[in-house]
Amino acid sequence: MFSLNRAQIIGNVTRDPELRYIPSGQGVTSFGVATNRRWRDKDGNNQEQTEFHDVVAWGKLAELLNQLIHKGNKIFIEGRLQTRQWEAQDGSKKQRTEIVAEDFVLLTPKGSASGDVSESGDEFPTKEEPKAKTEKPEKKKADEPASADKSASDDEINLDEIPF
């Protein structure tokens, strides 16, 4: 029988990542992510609930996350759920459910210090930055058809124009 253990969240990093190395030399990074759920109750009042998630990453992904993310960044994390159990020094039994990260996408724009929202309150601002032009536009001759002004270079994807 098929089973699936998959977790996908988009939220804000709640604390700077902590990178440690286990005795074998493998890196492990842990950090927190907060997600918000908004809804209207039966009386029409806006409600909001915040969930806090513990995230753990191993190996090269741990080192990369430690370099790239900071408290306040907006991030997409994909991974699996894992529950650990241990006995504390006082003898009590402890348990923690974490997301073991397998992939991520940093959603905070480059150059932004944190995941601040825009003045309008939108999480994803729609204001576009002006793009630098590298080539002068060619002048179109009057007798050329309109479709002739599209060159092969217009079909190329510029990686600097991708918003994430």
Predicted pLDDT of residue 153: 47
Q: Give kind and range of the element (H or E) at residue 52.
A: strand 46-58
Q: Are strands 18-21 and 46-58 parallel, antiparallel or unpaired?
A: unpaired
Domain boundaries of the chain, sorted by first residue: 1-38+47-112
**CATH number of this structure's domain 1-38+47-112:** 2.40.50.140
Q: What global pTM score does this model have?
A: 0.65
Confidence at 131, pLDDT banded by 50, 70, 90? very low
pLDDT tens for each residue of 139-164: 444 454 444 444 444 556 666 666 65
pLDDT tens string 15-38: 999 999 999 999 999 999 999 999
Q: Which residues neighbour 154 within 8 Å (Cβ) at sequence distance 6 or greater?
A: none
Q: How far apart are alpha carbons 14 and 35 in whole angstroms? A: 10
